[in-house]
Amino acid sequence: MTGERITAITMPKWGMTESDGKLVAWLVKEGESVSAMDEVVEMETTKITGAIEAPEGGTVRRLVAKPGDVVPIGGLLAVMAGEDVPQAEIDAFVDAFEAPESKSGGGEGAGDVTVIEAGGHSLRVRSLGEGEATPIVLIHGFGGDLDAWLFNQEALAADRQVHAIELPGHGQSSKSVGDGGPDALGAAVSAAIDALGLERVVLIGQSMGGALALDLALARPGLAAGVVLVAGAGLGEEIDGAFLEAFGSADRRKEMKAALQSLFADPALVNRNVVEGALRNRRLEGAAEALEAIREAWFPGGRQAHALAGRLGEIKAPILALWGVEDRIIPAAHAKAVEGRGEIALIEGVGHMVQMEAAGEVNRHILAFVAGLEA
C-alpha cells in the first residue's frame, strides 16, 4: 500500500471470519503528523476492537472513512503523505484507490483453519503465511482459543508459516483432555507439530501456553529454535486463583464479562462479541468439564503447580519474555526468572492479554527476536 509519496492506511484482516470492520473513532486529526507505529484509528470487528497503527511516519492528509462506517478488508481508511504533496494528488489517489480482492473470496478466510488429528485429539489449527524462514507455532492460554492471536498471526506471517494450535478442551477442538495436566496437553501440542510436518520452530505461548512452550523446548531441544513467553505460566507460584475460579464457573454473560475484564488493563475491550465468543466456546458439550480438569491439574488451590523457573538453564534455545506491567493474572515480576537467560520486555499500560492489548508492540518484539535467531 506504500506508494512513492502517498501511503494508504487500510483495514487489515483480523481473524478468520472477519470480512469488514466498523470504524469506532479516529485517534488522529487531518493534518496531524504521526510517527511510525502510532495508533491512528480504532476499528471494531465481530470479535474485538483493535487499534491500527501508522505504517510509517508522516502527515495524516485525509481521513477517508468516518466513525460508524463499515469498511471491508483492504478498504481505504486514511491517506498519509508529506506536507509537500499537493492536495490534488491526494484527491487523485483517493479516487483511484481500489480495495484488493479478498484472497479467500467472500471475505471469509475459513480455509485458513483446518482440523488435524493428532495424539487422539481433533485440534483446530489456523495456518497463515509461507516462506523459508523458521515457522512459528502459537499456543494460547487457559480458556483461550485461536482468536487469542487475532492481531498477531498475520503480522508474524509475512515471510514464514505461522500455525496457531487450539488446545484440547478449548475453542472448537475436541474436549477430551485426559487428566488435563501439562503432560497431556504437551503431548497434544507435540503431536500437532508433528502432524503439521514441522521440524524446527519458534514456540510462542501465552500464559499456560508459555509453560507448554517451555515444556516442549525441554522435551525436544532439536525442535525449538526459540521460545517466546507472553505473560507465561510456569515461572512462579502466584496466579490469580479467584480469576481462574470465576472464569471456570462463569456460565452467564455477566459473570463471564467480569472474569474476562480482569484479563485486560482496559476493561472496555471486553465488548459483547468477546463475551459471546467465550460463552459459545464454554457451552459446547464437555468444555466446562475439560477446563475444570485443566484448572485442577495446573492450578490447584489457586497456585501454579507446574514449576519451570528452575529448569530454564536446561533450555538451549534463546528465550524472550513479554509481559504487561498491569497483568492481574500472573504478576509481571515473574519475568525476572528469565533474567540472565533471555530477553525481557515489560510493556506499560496493558494486562494479561498483552498480545491483544499491545499487539503492534508485541509483534515488533517477536519479529526482532525471530530476526535475531536467523541472523
Partner 1 sequence: MARKLSMRQAINEAMHQEMERDESVIVMGEDIMGGLGVDWLEGDAWGGTQGTTKGLGPRFGRDRVIDTPISESAFIGAAIGASTTGMRAIVELMYVDFLGVCFDQIFNQAAKFRYMFGGKAECPVVVRTQIGGGFSAAAQHSQCLYPIFTHIPGLKCVIPSNAYDAKGLLIEAIRDNSPVIFFEHKKLYDAETEVPEESYTLPFGEAGILREGGDVTIVALARMAHMAMEAAETLAAEGIECEVIDPRTTSPMDEDTILESVENTGRLVVVDESYPRCSMGADISSMVAEKAFDSLKAPIRKVAPPHTPVPFSPPLEAAYLPDAARIADAVRAVARHGS
Nearer residue to partner 1 within complex by CB, 112 or 327: 112
Q: Is 16 in the site for partner 1 (CB under 8 A)?
A: yes
Strands 113-118 and 70-72: unpaired
Structure-block grid coordinates of residue 341? 537467560
Q: Which residue has the cell 511516519?
A: 57
Q: Which segment (106-114, 190-198, 312-320, 365-373) binds partner 1 by CB under 8 A?
A: 106-114
Provide, rounded to whole angstroms, the least separation between the CB of residue 110 and partner 1.
5
Name the burial class of residue 268, with classes exposed (0-12), middle (13-18) and buried (19+) by CB atoms within 10 angstroms of its CB.
Answer: exposed
Q: Is 258 in the site for partner 1 (CB under 8 A)?
A: no
x/- binding map, residues 180-219, to partner 1, per CB under 8 A? ----------------------------------------
Q: Which segment (88-96, 190-198, 247-255, 320-328) binds partner 1 by CB under 8 A?
A: 247-255
Name the burial class of residue 133, with classes exposed (0-12), middle (13-18) and buried (19+) by CB atoms within 10 angstroms of its CB.
Answer: middle
Task: Kindly tell me which residue out of 25, 110, 158, 368 binds partner 1, with binding defined by CB under 8 A.
Answer: 110
Q: Which segment (57-65, 92-100, 281-289, 338-346) binds partner 1 by CB under 8 A?
A: 281-289
In angstroms, the CA 164 to CA 84 distance is 44
Q: Which segment (28-36, 197-205, 221-229, 245-253) binds partner 1 by CB under 8 A?
A: 245-253
Amino acid at 6: I
Provide, rounded to whole angstroms, the least separation between the CB of residue 113 and partner 1.
5
- Near partner 1 in 154-173, by CB under 8 A: 172
Q: Do you know the residue count of the chain?
A: 375
Contact 144, 349 (CB under 8 A): no
Nearer residue to partner 1 within complex by CB, 124 or 295: 124
Q: Is 179 in the site for partner 1 (CB under 8 A)?
A: no
Amino acid at 211: A
Nearer residue to partner 1 within complex by CB, 2 or 114: 114
Instruction: Taking the CA atoms of 105, 107, 112 and 115 in sequence, report the sign of the dihedral they define.
Output: negative
Q: Is 121 in the site for partner 1 (CB under 8 A)?
A: no
Task: Kindly tell me which residue out of 84, 285, 313, 340 binds partner 1, with binding defined by CB under 8 A.
Answer: 285
In angstroms, the CA 363 to CA 370 distance is 10
Q: For residue 311, what are the contacts with CB-CB under 8 A and spacing of at least 6?
A: 214, 218
Task: Kindly tell me which residue out of 4, 96, 272, 310 binds partner 1, with binding defined by CB under 8 A.
Answer: 272
Q: Is 108 in the site for partner 1 (CB under 8 A)?
A: yes
Contact 329, 262 (CB under 8 A): yes
Q: Is 25 in the site for partner 1 (CB under 8 A)?
A: no
x/- binding map, residues 63-92, to partner 1, per CB under 8 A? -----x------------------------
Provide, rounded to whole angstroms, the least separation between the CB of residue 39 and partner 1.
22
Q: Which residue has the cell 459473570?
A: 255
Q: Is 283 in the site for partner 1 (CB under 8 A)?
A: yes
Strand order in the sheet with 39-44: 49-53, 39-44, 20-26, 70-72
Structure-block grid coordinates of residue 111? 480455509
Q: Is 284 in the site for partner 1 (CB under 8 A)?
A: yes
In angstroms, the CA 344 to CA 342 distance is 7
Q: Is 103 in the site for partner 1 (CB under 8 A)?
A: no
| DSSP at 90 | H
Task: Kindly tell me which residue out of 13, 62, 124, 170 binds partner 1, with binding defined by CB under 8 A.
Answer: 124
| DSSP at 243 | H
Instruction: Taking the CA atoms of 145, 150, 152 and 156 in sequence, report the sign of the dihedral they define.
Output: positive
Q: Is 252 in the site for partner 1 (CB under 8 A)?
A: yes
Provide, rounded to whole angstroms, the least separation between the CB of residue 273 and partner 1.
9
Residues that bind partner 1 (CB under 8 A): 16-17, 68, 108, 110, 113, 115, 124, 172, 251-254, 271-272, 280, 283-285
